[in-house]
Amino acid sequence: MRLVARALMPLLLISAACSEQTSEPASAPATLEPTAAPANTIPGLPNLRQIPLSERFDAAGRFKLDPKVLPAYRDMNAFKALKGDQYDDVRFTNPENYALTVPPTADVRPMVEWEPMRSIVMSFPGYFLQSSNATNTFVQVAKEAAAVGEVWFFVDGNTAETGLKNLILQAGLDQTTMDAKVKFQTVNMDSIWFIDSGPLPIIDKDTNTFAFADFRYYHERALDDGVPTLMGRQMIDFGYPEVTNTYRMPLSTEGGTFQSTTDGICFTGNRQLYYMSCEAGGCDESIRTMSLENVQNNPFAVEMRQVLADYVGCVDLIITNSITDDGTGHIDMYMKVLDDNRVLMGDYPEPYANPQQELNAARMTANADFIEAYVKPDGTNFTVERLVMPGHQNAQGGAIPFTYINSTFINGLNLWPATQFPEWNDSRAEAEAKWQEVMPEMDHVWIDSTELSFYSGAIHCVTRTIPAVEAGNWIEDGACASGTCNAPTGGYDGLCDPANINNDICWGPAWECGCNDCTTNCEYTPTEDNCNGITFTGCCEAGTAVWCQEGQLMEQACPNGCGWDSNENWYFCDNDGVTDPSGTFARSCGADCSCDGKECGDDGCGGDCGSCAGEAACLNNECREDCFDCNPGEIGCDGTVAWLCIPGTGGCNQRQTVDCGVTGATCEAGDCIAPPVVEPDPEPDVMETDTNTDEDTSVNSDDSVGEEDTGSDGGGSKDSGGCATGGAGGPWLALAACLLLGLRRSREGTVV
């Protein structure tokens, strides 16, 4: 399984994703209610610092997007990607996870969110632990959901699992419930948006078992796109007696823009049709402003309606107006199906903070009117309720629309998103009252989703629920014979090892074609050596594992360092700095295992090219006089000079110094030590008997000297604010000492 999992890791380039958000600012800079500061580090992960939400905003109150976090919206440039790029290489070399399949033959319906659920599922990469507020959203969802069902996490390694477990326990979940209900599975992933990339459960009406339907996810997120089939094959690991089948349909969409009823009335947004037009070769802007009456019969609507009928069991598809300035255009940002007869629609109340709110207010009202006028096949109608939309907050890329409607139902619990912006306290209370009004039988719990919302998502966007029925192995596994799979009716009957896969894949539904798009040539012919001499064993470069597979150069970012994995005999993540003990394979990519041109450091194969003279530091095999060979936090003395090592850019650490000798102090163990104070011999008392004036003056003088001596001993002035401005070293030295103390405090929990 390790080999298969590693085969799914492409050379992933984090694109400068651009949403379609307006650049128009929100009405005011963001302000947050004061809350208790989160712990700097996570229990069990002392070197991983969590960044509090307050540090995510710039001086103008705009949220700073983290380039490591892939947003819910897609990179529009990916529509222009040529076939055969690194993302399709992953799909071509692992067709069992991406090949389009035949639809199910059973009479199926889509899962609905208010039916009984066994579990809630989320995906969580380890790097996301640094995002304190966003991580807490996952933690609170898990804590609340564990009270009514199981919680499954897909994680990318031990760091993510350890961090989540400890934070969930810290949030108040007891160990017994954790052990019984919270489960982890390791898989390679791109992002956190599991509703979009994860599978859609479909129910066989006759057997009341479920299988998975799978949409094609974003072209540039190939790892996420492969999870649904892997998940279907792993159901036994989650306690089911059998695996389940995954039916992959010829439709590129996301779970966040699909909703339905039990009787098969399905919903999406017109942004989905717009994206389909882009995929077809030319983005048709008219789709986004087309009347709701006309857009229902747009050719892309007709195509999508038929695919969903075949694979999911939709009897009709209603196209709604998407919000204009949300990055995704997903329906779950502005609408939720409450039951078979009711829909909840977003509502922008007056006064409008900006023109986008006014425009979207009209679009949401048009949605409500259209859905209420729609006549279902059984002759009934929908009732539409309205839920207030909170408005916009500023980010460095523009104003971001927020929502209270992006919620997840699980077994009588409604987990809905909100924030702690004080200007939205009233609308949050209004939203809470509305949720109680429309679904009085449910428990409604709002969860702070501030950070997630700036990436165009919230609670529903990161969760998928699994119904409380058995997994159905609707098509039994086949068997390999003479290189070809012998399969039951409707099963895969192709080669046992297409694309030279190392294990037989005689399972699952029959393939329509062996790749992600049946309109193209599915054959894969890698070049002889496209890896620049790098082998399958791989190497490490700038915190990234790099290797060659199927003639293609692959890489995986390693937040916890890259090194030699002695169990697998290759270079991979979570083995920081370890080299091949035999010396056969260099850890550094492109290393020549020599010291030619290197002043110091590693020779590329674990050997030593020497150290630097004096206090110079070795960086990239070069001795740097402007850097110091010290570890952040170390202290010491150079004669009378006290120094503290502080972190510098690119590992070029610096020393902050204070010359203790300026005031006559000495340096001991990095601290300035004042010389002992020698008390002068007391003057003999002179008592004047003719007047009281000199006596009074003498007493006052003694008191004055006493106060001055106290200051000299380091007591400090009364207005020092906790940092003494007096002392043997003088005011400037005491302030420097305070600065050193502050630096030591700020270093705690930093990433090393």
Q: How many CB atoms lie within 10 A of CB 206?
A: 9
Q: Give the C-alpha separation, 408 to 332, whole Å.
A: 10
Q: Quick one: 592 and 728 in the same domain? A: no
Give the residue among 646, 594, 601 at the shortest CA–CA distance from 620: 601
Q: What are phi and psi of 208, to 5 degrees?
A: 55, 45
Give the count of domains, the chain: 3
In this structure, is residue 96 part of a structural domain? Answer: yes
CATH code of the domain in which 330 resides = 3.75.10.10
Q: Quick one: 246 and 193 in the same domain? A: yes
Strand partners, 317: 266
User: Which residues, including other chains, have CB under 8 Å from residue 591's CB and lie 6 or more apart?
Assistant: 539, 603, 604, 605
Q: How many CA atoms lie within 13 A of 254 on its CB side?
A: 29
Q: How many CB atoms lie within 10 A of CB 90?
A: 26
Query: Percent of the chain at pLDDT above 90?
Result: 55
Strands 413-418 and 616-619: what pairing?
unpaired
Confidence class of residue 82 from pLDDT cuts 50, 70 and 90?
Answer: low
State the average pLDDT over residues 82-89.
Answer: 68
Query: Any idea what DSSP says for residue 712?
Result: I
Which is more confidently placed, 19 or 676? 676
Stated as kind and residue range, the H or E segment containing 252 is: strand 246-252
pLDDT at 125: 94
Beta strands in 25-163 (DSSP E): 41-42, 45-49, 108-110, 117-124, 150-155
State the average pLDDT over residues 435-455.
Answer: 98
User: Which residues, including other chains, have CB under 8 Å from residue 8's CB and lie 6 or more apart?
Assistant: 90, 94, 97, 188, 222, 223, 226
Q: Quick one: 134 and 271 in the same domain? A: yes
Which is more confidently placed, 541 or 375? 375
Q: Quick one: 648 and 602 in the same domain? A: no
Q: Quick one: 658 and 545 in the same domain? A: no
Torsion of CA 511, 515, 521, 524, to 10 degrees: -120
User: pTM here?
Assistant: 0.70
pLDDT at 624: 87
User: Which residues, including other chains, have CB under 8 Å from residue 138's CB and lie 6 or more apart?
Assistant: 122, 124, 164, 192, 462
pLDDT at 701: 36
Q: Quick one: 142 and 211 in the same domain? A: yes
Q: Quick one: 398 and 462 in the same domain? A: yes
In this structure, is residue 324 part of a structural domain? Answer: yes
pLDDT digits (tens, 9 = 90+) for 596-648: 778 887 665 555 678 888 878 887 788 888 888 887 778 889 889 988 888 77
CA distances from 449 to 221, 454, 515, 609 (A): 23, 9, 37, 50
Q: Quick one: 270 and 157 in the same domain? A: yes
Q: Quick one: 458 and 578 in the same domain? A: no
704 has a pLDDT exceeding 70? no
Q: What's the whole-number average pLDDT of the chain?
A: 82
In this structure, is residue 73 part of a structural domain? Answer: no
Q: Give the C-alpha separation, 421 to 390, whole Å.
A: 10
Query: Any idea what DSSP says for residue 247?
Result: E
- Domain around 591: 528-610
User: Which residues, including other chains, have CB under 8 Å from residue 501's CB and lie 6 or more apart?
Assistant: 4, 94, 96
Q: Give the C-alpha separation, 435 to 386, whole Å.
A: 10
pLDDT digits (tens, 9 = 90+) for 38-54: 456 788 888 788 999 99
Q: Quick one: 453 and 305 in the same domain? A: yes
pLDDT digits (tens, 9 = 90+) for 361-372: 999 999 999 999
pLDDT at 595: 74
185 has a pLDDT exceeding 70? yes
pLDDT at 519: 75
Q: Give the C-alpha separation, 245 to 472, whole Å.
A: 7
30 has a pLDDT exceeding 90? no
In this structure, is residue 708 part of a structural domain? Answer: no
Tell me, letter by letter, the H, E, C secondary structure of 234-246.
CHHHHCCCCCCCE
Which is more confidently placed, 416 or 650? 416
29 has a pLDDT exceeding 70? no
Q: Give the C-alpha separation, 399 to 25, whole Å.
A: 5
pLDDT at 40: 66
Q: What are phi and psi of 270, to 5 degrees?
A: -70, -20
pLDDT digits (tens, 9 = 90+) for 330-350: 999 999 999 999 999 999 999
197 has a pLDDT exceeding 90? yes
State the average pLDDT over residues 723-734.
Answer: 36
Q: Give the C-alpha separation, 387 to 401, whole Å.
A: 15
In this structure, is residue 21 part of a structural domain? Answer: no
Q: Quick one: 123 and 243 in the same domain? A: yes
529 has a pLDDT exceeding 60? no
User: Which residues, including other chains, have CB under 8 Å from residue 126's CB and lie 6 or more apart?
Assistant: 155, 156, 157, 159, 160, 163, 559, 560
Could you tell me if 28 and 35 are in contact, meaning their C-beta atoms sit under 8 angstroms apart? no
Q: Quick one: 662 and 557 in the same domain? A: no
In this structure, is residue 92 part of a structural domain? Answer: yes
pLDDT digits (tens, 9 = 90+) for 583-593: 778 888 876 55
| Burial state string for 377-391 with b = 16 or more CB within 10 A and e = fewer than 16 | eeeeebebbbbbbbb
34 has a pLDDT exceeding 70? no
pLDDT digits (tens, 9 = 90+) for 87-135: 877 888 889 999 999 999 999 999 999 999 999 999 999 999 999 999 9
The radius of gyration of the chain from alpha carbons, rounded to an integer in Å, stands at: 32
Could you tell me if 212 and 80 are in contact, meaning their C-beta atoms sit under 8 angstroms apart? no
Could you tell me if 66 and 451 are in contact, meaning their C-beta atoms sit under 8 angstroms apart? no
698 has a pLDDT exceeding 60? no
In this structure, is residue 622 part of a structural domain? Answer: no
Instruction: Give SS3 for 548.
Output: strand
In this structure, is residue 103 part of a structural domain? Answer: yes
Q: What are phi and psi of 472, to 5 degrees?
A: -105, 120
How far from each other are the two terminal CA atoms of the chain, in whole angstroms? 31
